[in-house]
Chain A
């Protein structure tokens, strides 16, 4: 059986090195795929390609084996855009009914689905409130429900928790895990590294239009951090002089474009950190802030994105 989402060598150029440069990924049923990437990496273009709204220079997109340009294939697709894509002058109930109908449900099915959705997002008591009067977190939950009324086999979410407080964010996470448990394939485009680490079964890091790293979080950590290495971040007061740069590079750290923030795997561990800081002070680059962590998705992202952006 064809997977819910399969992208093969998807390419689209906007000129000046921007666009998609051969992206391939697969999202299986019951799987959450976290799509990470710095701004301008191509996440929005990729989402548009999945919804059939991007003219491709090459490659294929398949939803359950079908071309998304075919309207029938989109019946099994749910989209939760980054914007609160709802009618603010309609009530929650009216919005959900309209979105259900637009997703292809009959009127009766849409009513039944919206009743279930109102319970699911815990907003049955606000069903007749105008969306414009809801809090940001409540609007986000309605936004999510609007994309799932027709119980899509594939749900694409673009920054579903941007701008919401931690409790509301946790509420959204719970809903996504419930969808996953029901067998929904989920593509989650996000800047929230903790969110991706918490929810995603597989992660892809999109940089300059191509997947620079892809896999499970443990596999990515193992790939980008040597055994025993820690994830070190050093913030300097100013760009380091050449001797200090040699010390930093020798420790395995890479800089951001301003050469202020240096990150990377540090083999010296916690015990080796004071020695490194002393060497840097002696080389004329005092450290303003130092953080050392167990390696995780954050460290992978900065390593992948940093190398791609700089190199």
Chain B
């Protein structure tokens, strides 16, 4: 009995050549994409986009900027001011920012009065990018400016330890004791004052006051897109199910024909998608202070467009398939790839550059960027026009494609 059931399942699997091919070949494609993405997430191929400005315009600051530009872990875009750096980080064009500050101490003076010479601009959504930039900046400082580092240390020694009187030795011992005490009292996470050599850099953040809201703005959009796609495919599969059940024969005998069938399903999937995403964002508002009530209209516009994109794509994939098994396999795999590349599973800035660029071809990235722009970066509404137009275009394009593919079901 068991063997017979096994045989029946195997025959069905082998007979549907399209589904068989997709079941065997496409997972390999998914594996390769995921491997590339997660390899990036491990840091091996990580490249941080950095916006940098040199306000000191000294020989030392120029050498530091040149060293940063040469660093293979960084992609440096040089801008002219602190404001420009902050704007690029806020807008997501850069993962983190760096300013050699005109208002700070010279790079040659790490211990004097005044603020640190280097400002690191961080986006809490991509906090790790700022940490990486700080590490790379320290490395660049000590490798590109060794004379400056040595001069700073000599100055420090000259000022504090040049005369070894009894009182100075006592003072030195006392200072060492203080340093040891500071280390004992310091937070293991490193957030407390690390000591007197912390004079090189200062960190600042951009965007919303609530760190939670910023993370949620990213992930709410990312998760919403993933589930939008899955729900849309589930709904679109009724096209194949209705054909198999004979319902399509009856629907197509009516005056509305296939255009009414595909159009009706598209509209339902859009409404379903809007409800689904709205629920996700209501939870995000209630639990994480995402400002949904204040921006409900642009939210609805983005969500309607995102739902249209998911509906159009799902219908096109379903209509292109000859069997339900083909439709399910094809849709699942396409959704997984789009979601992975688009940023639903791994934050986009952790991806290798190629995958990150490919993300811009996916509706997931357009939607995630639009939601982040609206709820986190406070982009002007005009900045939402392009992603919304792309999402709508994808939705209507998918709908048109589905209508074309459905001709196969309509007339035989």
Contacts and interface: CB of A to CB of B under 8 A. Distances in A.
A227 interface: no
Contact of A51 (B246, B247, B252): B252
A74 B410 CA distance: 14
Contacts of B183: none
Given A84-B246, A85-B246, A77 B412 contact: no
Interface residues of A, number: 26
A191 interface: no
A54 interface: yes
A202 B380 CA distance: 73
A48 B253 CA distance: 9
A199 interface: no
Interface string B234-274: 00000000000111011111111100100000000000000
B255 A85 contact: no
A144 to B, nearest CB: 12
Interface residue tally of chain B, by bracket?
10 to 19
B3 interface: no
Nearest to A158: B249
Q: DSSP majority for the A interface?
A: loop
Contacts of B410: 53
A32 interface: no
Contacts, number: 58
A54 B250 contact: no
A270 interface: no
Q: DSSP majority for the B interface?
A: helix
Contacts of A75: 255
Interface in A43-65: 48, 51-55
A223 interface: no
B237 to A, nearest CB: 14
B210 to A, nearest CB: 44
A79 interface: yes
A104 B247 contact: no
Contacts of A71: 255-257
Contact of B411 (A55, A78, A86, A103): A55
A120 interface: no
B256 A81 contact: no
A85 B254 contact: no
A104 B412 CA distance: 24
Nearest to B246: A83
Contacts of A85: 245-247, 249-250
A102 interface: yes
Nearest to A75: B255
Interface in A169-217: none
B320 to A, nearest CB: 19
Contacts of B255: 71-72, 74-75, 103-104
16 contacts: A53-B411, A53-B412, A55-B411, A71-B255, A71-B257, A75-B255, A77-B253, A78-B253, A81-B249, A81-B250, A83-B247, A85-B245, A99-B250, A102-B254, A104-B254, A146-B250
Interface of A: 48, 51-55, 71-72, 74-75, 77-79, 81-87, 99, 102-104, 146-147
Task: Give the 7 A-B residue pairs with the shortest CB-CB distance, closest first.
Answer: A83-B246, A79-B253, A85-B250, A71-B255, A85-B246, A102-B254, A81-B246
Interface of B: 245-247, 249-257, 260, 410-412
